[in-house]
Structure 1
Amino acid sequence: MGFQLAPTAAAEGFRLEAHDSVGSTNAIALERARAGDLGKLWVVSKKQESGRGRRGRAWATPEGNLAATLLLIVDRDLKTAATLGFVAGLALSDALEAVVPGRVAIAADGAGDRRGNRFELKWPNDVLAKGAKMAGILLESTMLDADRFALAIGIGVNVVAHPEDVPYPATSLKALGADCAAETLFLALSDAWSENMRLWNEGRGLELIRQRWLAHAAGLGGQVAVRVEGNVVRGVFETIDEDCRFVIRDDTGAVHKIAAGDVHFGAVASASAT
């Protein structure tokens, strides 16, 4: 089976551009926007040669994994549009639950989840299984004119392989015992995106998205450390606020609201955040 859009996505006007191999799906999506594309375009591939993660880190997508980018043309403020990263996390979590058989037991460890979620969301943009990173989300934007910008929402999923030489635990669907093709996962993702985008409702439904995200949040209520511009903030992960900032209460009772940073859980949080 090749890549296909879910009928719900096609009915809502989403389009699909599929590749066997790409440099970066985000880069292609932004190129299409600069060339005049009107958005609602999914760019997908099972192999990505030069994908990127947060802070310019490489994100490898070997043959059989999923690289997908949704291009949107946005005429609202960038701060609101940035919360679509949380929509993407929920959509991917929903898609994974839809395609991974219930017999595949993915008991959480590491960050520790007690709510029965097989897939957890790590602030701001990772999806975990058994405490290990299985997917990452990267938002990139470019101004088109005074009133509009293009937003590329990149989603990379370890379907058949995961990196071994990284400083954090990583896994893949195959390693977890799930036999799922990238095409099958994308079909479910395009459907789940449409549903969660409707809930977001151009930002008006952000509180509902925030509550749904918290129900899947990794490490909620536990000890965390966040590296922010060379400094480390430690404490208890209490919530994400109305602007989706990461909220920590430290040992003195002071509350820290963090807009960007690298989060570490458990023993790593207690010792260091390097």
Structure 2
Amino acid sequence: MGFELGPVAAAAGYQLLAFEKAGSTNAEALNRARLGIEGPLWITAREQSAGRGRRGRTWETPTGNLAASLLLTLNATRPQAATLGFVAGLALNEAVSAVAPGIAVRVGVDGLDEPRTRLTLKWPNDVLADGAKLAGILLEVEPSGDRLAVVIGLGVNVAAAPAGLPYPATALNELGSFVTAEGLFTALTDAWVRFHLIWDGGRGLAEIRRLWLAQAAGLGAPVAVRIGDSVLRGKFETLDEEGRLIVLTDDGERRAVTAGEVHFGAAASLAS
């Protein structure tokens, strides 16, 4: 089975370029933006050898995992474009729930306990399953004439999670759902269209924010945010209208965080 767009994405005019191997799907997308290709264009690779994560980290994509990037050219500001990470997180959660409904919720023994959501969204751009990292999202933006070329890269642990990371990670197959990267991608392309229409050039950010907060990891919990050489501690209170993390500190001050390394719960007390 090859990578294919979903019927909604195909009807909406999205295009697809699929590689067997690529260094980085984000790099492939940016190269095409520099050649004047505007998108919307999805780029996938069965194997990615030089994937990029946030904050300059590498992202491993062995065969069986999903590496996909979406190229868009928008009339938007950089802050508006950055909020597409929330759109991507919502779309990815919906796609995983569609192809692997058995892992979307967990119930207790004999189903007697209340079901709870296993999939959550971690600010700014991670998807977690049972608190472990399942997927990461990387946005890269460049000027393109008087508009912006925006690339949204998504890496999902489908077949296996990388070992030796400083945080817990998991994969769909490890959670007992034997879906394929190709099947997840098709569902993702259709889910993206739905949430991108809600976003509506940034005009629908309030609704995207509401939907994202309903699936947020660590909301109301202790949080520690490493910003450069300092650590901000407090409680994850909400997101503001621009998608910034709002931390309520112990002295009652509300601090808006644009970027940083976030730790929740018990990990927040250990972060230094």
Quickly name the TM-score band, shorter chain normalised: over 0.9
Q: What is residue 119 of structure 1 aligned with on the other side? A: 119
Distance in 2 (alpha carbons) for counterparts of 1:103 and 1:81: 31
CA shift for structure 1 position 21: 1.2
C-alpha deviation, 1:103, in angstroms: 6.5
Assess if the C-alpha contact under 8 Å between 2:106 and 2:115 holds in 1. no
Is contact 2:97-2:104 (8 Å) kept? no
Distance of 1:255 and 1:13 partners within structure 2: 43
Q: Is the contact between residue 105 and residue 115 of structure 2 (CA under 8 Å) also seen in structure 1?
A: no
Alignment match, 2:178: 179
Kept in 1: contact 2:103–2:177 (CA 8 A)? no
TM-score by length of 2: 0.95
> Following the alignment from structure 1 to structure 2, what is the Cα–Cα distance between the partners of residues 189 and 220?
25
Q: Percent of aligned pairs with the same residue?
A: 55
Structure 1 CA distance, aligned partners of 2:263 and 2:105?
24
Within a 5 Å distance, the mapping from 1:1-274 to structure 2 comes to 1-102=1-102, 106=106, 116-145=116-145, 147-273=146-272
Cα shift readout 1:220-273 (whole Å, capped 9, x = no counterpart): 010110001111011110001001000111111111110000100111211324
> Does the 8 Å contact 1:71/1:151 carry over to 2?
yes
Post-superposition Cα deviations, 1:41-76, rounded to whole Å, max 9, x if no partner, equal 000112110001111100000011000000001122
Distance 2:155 2:115 in 1: 25
Whole-angstrom CA distance in 1 between matches of 2:115 and 2:88 = 21
Q: Secondary structure in 2 aligned to 1:44?
A: strand
2: distance between equivalents of 1:115 and 1:156? 27
Q: 2:45–2:67: 8 Å Cα contact kept in structure 1?
A: yes
> Do 1:104 and 1:176's aligned partners in 2 also have CA atoms closer than 8 Å?
no
Distance 1:34 1:104, change over 3 A: closer
Q: Which structure carries more strand by proportion?
A: 2
CA distance in 2, matches of 1:63, 1:103: 22
CA distance in 2, matches of 1:93, 1:15: 22
Relative to 1, partners in 2 of residues 1:235 and 1:123: Cα closer, same or farther, differing over 3 Å?
same
RMSD: 1.4
Q: Deviations over 1:200-234 (max 9, x none)?
A: 01111000000000000000010110001111011
Residue 48 of structure 1 aligns to a residue whose secondary structure is: strand
Preserved CA contact (<8 Å) 2:102 2:177: no
Structure 1 residue 28: Cα displacement = 0.3
Match of 2:110 in 1: none
Name the amino acid aligned to 1:260.
Answer: A
Partner Cα distance (2:101, 2:258) in 1: 35
Deviation per residue, 1:80-120 (Å, 9 max, x gap): 1111010000000000000103277557xxxxxx9832210
Pair 170,33 (structure 1): closer, same or farther in 2 beyond 3 Å: same
Q: SS where residue 64 of structure 1 aligns?
A: coil
User: Are the equivalent residues in 2 in contact too, given 1:65–1:157 (CA < 8 A)?
Assistant: yes
Q: Which runs of 4+ in 1 moved over 4 A?
A: 103-107
Which amino acid in the other structure matches residue 142 of structure 2?
T
- Cα drift, residue 150 of structure 1: 1.0
Cα separation, partners in 2 of 1:184 and 1:205, compared to 1, 3 Å: same
Give the SS at the match of 1:21: strand
| Counterparts of 1:94 and 1:125, CA distance in 2 | 15
| Structure 1 letter corresponding to 2:198 | L
Residues in 1 aligned to 2:6 and 2:271: alpha-carbon distance in whole angstroms: 44
Distance in structure 2 (CA, Å) of the matches to 1:56 and 1:74: 25
The code of the aligned residue for 2:42 comes to: W
Question: What CA deviation, in whole Å up to 9, does each residue of 1:167-212 have, x standing for no partner?
Answer: 0000000111110000000000000000000110111100000000
